[in-house]
Amino acid sequence: MTELYGYIKALHLIFVITWFAGLFYVPRLFINHIEASLRPSPEKEILTKEFKLMTKRLWYIITWPSAILAVLFAIWLLVLFPGWLQQPWMHVKLTFVVLLILYHLKNHQIFKQLQRDEIKYTANFMRIWNEGATIILFAIVFLVVLKSTISWVYGVVGILTLGILLMLGIKLYKRIRDKNPDA
């Protein structure tokens, strides 16, 4: 079975990448949907209908299948190599994977609300929310690549720094956009 390792790992990585692609893009569609809801008729209805369709296709054709397949191939890898579960870095990685799944499920909840035209969040909140997947991706990739060589203190400081930089970038973008709405 270990001769399949390379194929299983490759498929796991492919589906992780496509899962993240969906998680990066779906909040952007949420932002567009929310902003479209503020436009005058008939523009509002036309854009909202289009964003609902785009989001539905992305969510059900790419994001959900990729999430399921990424997790299934990950479980298969852990079955092949159960010793990985004894590694401290794997415990931390799996914690971030749980956070990623929770992030995914929250996006699903927001998706369902927007499909029903229930707007509970601002576009600015969604811009910040959109960075959640980025922070989780950084954490997981660094853990997998560096494994036990990473200092947990430096890792935590790095993730917090990344989060702060992303928030500052969002605030700067908002300031630029407020001055020039076409930006």
Contacts of 142 (CB under 8 A, 6+ apart): 150, 155, 158
For the record, the structure tokens of 89 come out as 């870095």
The DSSP-derived string for 55-113 is HHHIIIIIIHHHHHHHHHHHHHHHHH-GGGGGSHHHHHHHHHHHHHHHHHHHHHHHHHH
**Binding site members for heme:** 12, 93
Note whether 15 and 64 are within 8 A (CB): no
Number of neighbouring beta carbons within 10 Å of residue 129: 17
**Binding site members:** 12, 93
Number of neighbouring beta carbons within 10 Å of residue 143: 22
